[in-house]
Chain A
Amino acid sequence: MEKQEKIKVLYIDDEPHNLVGLKATFRMDYNILTANSADEGRALLEKHPDIKVILCDQRMPGKTGVQFFEEITHIFPHPVRMLLTGYTDIESVVNAINRGHVYRYITKPWTEADIRSAIEEGYKYYVTSTMLALRNEELQKAYDELDKFAYSITHDMRGPIVSSLGAIEIVQNSNDLNEVKEVAGMMEKSLQSMDALIQNMHEYYTIKRGELTIVDIRFDELINDFKEVFSVTAKMGNIDFEINLQQEGVFRSDELTLKIIVTNLLSNAFKYQRSNAVSKFVKLDVKATPESATVIVRDNGIGIEEAYVNDIFSMFFRATSQNTGSGFGLYNVKDALRKLNGHIQVHSKPGEGTEFRVEIPGK
Chain B
Amino acid sequence: MNLDKMYFIVIDDSKLDCFIAEKVIQNTGRSESVRSFAGASEALEYMKALPPDRKTVILVDIQMPLMNGFEFLDAFKNNIPVEKQSNFIINLLSSSINESDQNRAKAYPFVNQFLNKPLSKGALENMISAIA
Chain A residues engaging chain B, CB cutoff 8 angstroms:
151, 154-156, 158-159, 162-167, 169-170, 173, 182-183, 186-187, 189-190, 308, 317-322, 324-325, 327
With A154-B98, A155-B95, A162-B95: A321-B117 Cβ-Cβ less than 8 Å = no
Report if B16 contacts A (CB, 8 A): yes
Q: Is the CB of B118 within 8 A of A169?
A: yes
Q: B97 in the interface, Cβ–Cβ < 8 Å?
A: yes
Instruction: Check if B15 sits within 8 Å of A158, measured CB to CB.
Output: no
CB nearest neighbor in B for A165? B118
Closest to A174 in B: B23
Interface residues of B (CB under 8 A from A): 13-17, 19-20, 23-24, 27, 38-39, 62-66, 94-98, 116-120
For this complex, 18 residue pairs linking A to B, each with C-beta atoms less than 8 Å apart, are: A155-B62, A155-B96, A159-B14, A163-B95, A163-B118, A166-B20, A167-B19, A167-B20, A167-B118, A183-B19, A186-B19, A190-B14, A308-B66, A319-B65, A319-B66, A321-B39, A325-B65, A327-B65
Chain A residues closer than 8 Å to B116, beta-carbon distance: 162
Query: Which residues of B sit under 8 angstroms from A186, Cβ to Cβ?
Result: 15-16, 19
Instruction: Find chain B residues with CB under 8 A from A166 CB.
Output: 16-17, 20, 24, 117-119
Interface SS majority for chain B: loop
With a CB–CB cut-off of 8 A, which chain B residues contact A151? 98
Q: Which residues of B contact A182 (CB under 8 A)?
A: 19
> How far is the CB of B105 from the nearest CB of chain A, in Å?
14
- A158 contacts B97, CB within 8 Å? yes
Q: Which residue of A lies closest to B65 (CB)?
A: A318
Smallest distance from the beta carbon of A84 to chain B beta carbons, Å? 53
When distances are taken between beta carbons in the complex, the residues of chain A under 8 Å from B64 are 321
Cα–Cα, bound, A167→B27 (Å): 14
- Bound CA span A175–B63, Å: 32
Contacts A190-B16, A308-B66 aside, 5 further interface pairs with beta carbons under 8 A come to A155-B95, A159-B95, A162-B116, A166-B20, A169-B120
Contact A167–B16 (Cβ < 8 Å):
yes
* Closest chain A residue to B67, Cβ basis: A321
B14 proximity list for chain A (CB < 8 A): 159, 163, 190, 324
Q: Please report the C-alpha to C-alpha distance between residue A324 and residue B12 in the assembled complex, in whole angstroms.
A: 12
Which residue of the partner chain, among B24, B66, B95, contacts A321 with CB atoms under 8 Å?
A: B66
Pick from B23, B98, B117: contact of A159, CB under 8 Å: B117
Known: A155-B95, A158-B97, A186-B15. A163 touches B117 (CB 8 A): yes
Complex CA gap A231/B96 in Å reads 36
Chain A residues with CB under 8 A of B118: 162-163, 165-167, 169
Q: How far apart are the CA atoms of A318 and B117 in the complex, in Å?
A: 21
A310 to chain B, nearest CB (A): 14
> Would B65 and A163 count as touching, CB distance under 8 A?
no
Instruction: Return the chain A residue nearest B121 by Cβ.
Output: A169
- A170-B20 in contact (CB<8A): yes
Distance between A174 CB and nearest chain B CB, rounded to angstroms:
9
Contacts of B24 in A (CB 8 A): 166, 170
Q: Which residue on A lies nearest to B19, using beta carbons?
A: A186
Residue of B nearest to A190 (CB): B16
10 closest residue pairs by CB, A with B: A166-B118, A318-B65, A166-B20, A186-B16, A162-B117, A321-B13, A321-B38, A321-B39, A162-B95, A163-B16
Determine whether the beta carbon of B98 is less than 8 Å from that of A163.
no
Q: Which residue of chain B lies nearest to A188 when distances are taken between CB atoms in the complex?
A: B16
Residues of the A chain whose Cβ atoms lie less than 8 Å from the Cβ of B15:
186, 189
